[in-house]
Structure 1
Amino acid sequence: MSDEMLAEKARASAWFRELRDRIVTAFEALEDSHIDGPGAASAPGRFEVTETSRTAEDGSDAGGGLMSVMRGGRVFEKVGVNVSEVYGTLGTRAQAAMAARKGIPGMEDDPRFWASGISLVAHMQNPHAPAVHMNTRMFWTPHAWWFGGGSDLNPCIEYPEDTAHFHAVQKEHLDPHGAAHYPRLKEWADEYFYIPHRKRARGVGGIFMDDHNTGDWQADFALTRDIGQAFLPAYLPLVEKRRVLDWTGADRETQLVHRGLYAEYNLVYDRGTKFGLETGHDPDAVLMSLPPLAKWI
């Protein structure tokens, strides 16, 4: 591996950690500032931080990360912000899936990999405040490297103006990299976050990309950074506006049923969940995205 690629990996991993720190700080500030409305009498939530680890099949260290989870706050019922940096060799199943889906030759001969990223899922106390998902990542093998990720909004009670704001901020951050990016990544998110057995989307969309490699690492990394930097300005104003609204038992019922869609998608279709479990990462960190409570009817 070249010194240049080593430096690029270090830059990517450091950025994901920096973004994690920004988001954790912003979310705890949101808890502190919620002094009116439902839940304001509760103690402000705080993240519990746990180191995670991945163990290779031979028992050797294979990287890890930080799992940061807040439960039972004023605003957030459960939110997780994880960062990881893992490495080693891909198992047979992961090799086959990678070769088939990404068309990467040579995986059987040299199945080494390295991956780093940030993954976030927030489930809210107030049914009027939307749940959200965000992740960005870099993946490397001796045969290829690429970036991926995005963010999508998952309200159980939709407000069209909130959806419009979320998408507008995404577009604003993507347009400097080329006008074609936002419509392409929006369409990709619409397709990716679709639940076939329910014949519906799990939310109101956002942006998503995978296998992103133009051959220009600096440009691809800059795009990935801006996908991450779009998250807080796209999401925080929506929570600040909706967290003060009164809600009913019927609203809570709607929220719990909608969370069932989220759980179904993540357990059945989500590639990140499958990859994390197949490569031996900490299952609690991999399944952090699941809601604390959900309901099926």
Structure 2
Amino acid sequence: MSRLLAQSELAQKTYKIIEHLQHYFVQGLSQKGALLKSDFSDFEPVEWLRDEGLHGGGCRMMATDTLFNRASVNLSQVFYEDSPQKPLNSATAVSTIIHPAHPLSPSMHMHISFTERKKGNGYWRIMADLNPSNKNDLFENIFVNAMKTVAKDLYDFAKKQGDAYFFIPALDRHRGVTHFYLEQHDSGDWEQDSKLALEFGKAVIDAYCEIFYHSNFEQRKATTEESINQLNYHSLYFLQVLTLDRGTTSGLLAHNQNDVGTLGSIPATINTVLLKSWIEKLPDIHKPLMQGLLSVLDESEHCLINDKQKQALVDQLRLFYKNNPDAVHLQAKGFVVPPTVRNHNGKTS
């Protein structure tokens, strides 16, 4: 079956913005990739359907070239216009994490979405963060300046909220070096807010494509220490996403129709020996979660993760929250906690 789209005017306008950002990012990375490699392999689309397409779904563009460790640029639109009992009318998003292969090329995350509710105002979520495994002040400045130029007076607030969201208490550090997070953003002027979302997304994409190109251009062979730093960062990312990231967990608890896609950004290789050593630092309630996750992976300093293992990880995560529902309160949060799961599964009254 084909993937249907929402019929509301706001959802249709949002879809055009989100679709443009997806194409813009894939095109930007592809153009830089072609400059770096004459035989660059482009991104490939993978479709998924919500309720066989009757309530939408999405398309993730997956990188196939060796310039990337893992890269996925996801577009989605889920809607319940025919389900009056659900609070959510539509949710449209572009969400991506890029993990380049070269240790000197930083990872990057971006999420831009609009949630349209049946009652009350809709709201935007706008996130972006740079995640280097080997620090580079120049790249960080390029990324920050791009965000500041568009966000203007909103930048300081979004930075503080992002720093709160991406902090990992057990390890006393952040996931990345610069974080931007606006949650439930609604100025009362949808056109103005949608313009901010589009311009912010394009500015971040332009900045990252420049960083991606220059970090790969010289093709300097990474040192052993730099390669280890990358593997350790990828392991840190794994821990943050599967124990703390509210967006990932909410998506997996809301439905089971895009499990592998939701974990499409998990790095290809992690150090499960390092992850095991971190268990004692986790809150007691998170220790069985990490133990369960590691139980479906090989114990190795270079553990490969494929789609079958991603599904096994999702099964472990759902089992944990079924047995420990109160653990959702330990998930990452900014200054506002979005009701994502209730929007999909709850009632309007």
**What TM-score results when the alignment is normalised by the length of structure 2?**
0.71
Q: 1:275 aligns with which of 221, 225, 250?
A: 250
SS of 1:66 mapped into structure 2: strand
Q: 2:169 aligns with which of 173, 190, 196?
A: 196
- Report the equivalent of 1:82: 74
1:92-241 equivalent positions in 2, closer than 5 A: 110-144=86-120, 145-175=122-152, 180-241=153-214
Question: Is the aligned partner of 1:242 residue 2:242?
Answer: no
Paired with 1:265 and 1:143, the residues of 2 have a C-alpha distance of 33
Contact 1:78 1:291 in 2 (8 A): yes
Paired with 2:252 and 2:183, the residues of 1 have a C-alpha distance of 19
- Look up the equivalent residue of 1:215 and give its one-letter code: G
Residue 34 of structure 1, CA deviation: 0.7
Paired with 2:201 and 2:239, the residues of 1 have a C-alpha distance of 25
Higher helix share: 2
Question: Is the aligned partner of 1:63 residue 2:56?
Answer: yes
1:19-34 equivalent positions in 2, closer than 5 A: 19-34=21-36
- Report the equivalent of 1:104: none
Q: Compute the RMSD of aligned alpha carbons.
A: 2.1
- Look up the equivalent residue of 1:273 and give its one-letter code: T
- Report the equivalent of 1:92: none
SS of 2:269 mapped into structure 1: coil
Paired with 2:134 and 2:88, the residues of 1 have a C-alpha distance of 44
Paired with 1:241 and 1:60, the residues of 2 have a C-alpha distance of 40
SS of 1:45 mapped into structure 2: coil
- Look up the equivalent residue of 1:195 and give its one-letter code: I
Residue 74 of structure 1, CA deviation: 4.0
**What TM-score results when the alignment is normalised by the length of structure 1?**
0.82
Structure 2 residue ranges without an equivalent (≥5): 1-6, 275-349
Paired with 2:86 and 2:109, the residues of 1 have a C-alpha distance of 33
Given the superposition, is the C-alpha separation of residues 206 and 112 from structure 1 closer, same or farther in structure 2, using an over 3 Å criterion? closer
Paired with 1:52 and 1:235, the residues of 2 have a C-alpha distance of 27
- Report the equivalent of 2:228: 253
* Matched-pair identity in %: 25
- Look up the equivalent residue of 2:221 and give its one-letter code: D
| Large movers: runs of 4+ above 4 Å | none
Contact 1:31 1:74 in 2 (8 A): no
- Report the equivalent of 1:101: none
1:34-45 equivalent positions in 2, closer than 5 A: 34-35=36-37, 43-45=39-41
Contact 2:70 2:265 in 1 (8 A): no
Residue 110 of structure 1, CA deviation: 4.8
- Look up the equivalent residue of 1:295 and give its one-letter code: N
Contact 1:30 1:75 in 2 (8 A): no
Residue 64 of structure 1, CA deviation: 0.4
Residue 234 of structure 1, CA deviation: 1.7
SS of 1:246 mapped into structure 2: coil
Paired with 2:29 and 2:130, the residues of 1 have a C-alpha distance of 16
- Look up the equivalent residue of 1:78 and give its one-letter code: R
Paired with 1:208 and 1:76, the residues of 2 have a C-alpha distance of 25
Paired with 2:42 and 2:86, the residues of 1 have a C-alpha distance of 43
Higher strand share: 1
- Look up the equivalent residue of 1:143 and give its one-letter code: K
SS of 1:44 mapped into structure 2: coil
Residue 195 of structure 1, CA deviation: 1.2
Residue 60 of structure 1, CA deviation: 7.8
Paired with 1:251 and 1:13, the residues of 2 have a C-alpha distance of 40
Number of residue pairs matched by the alignment: 262
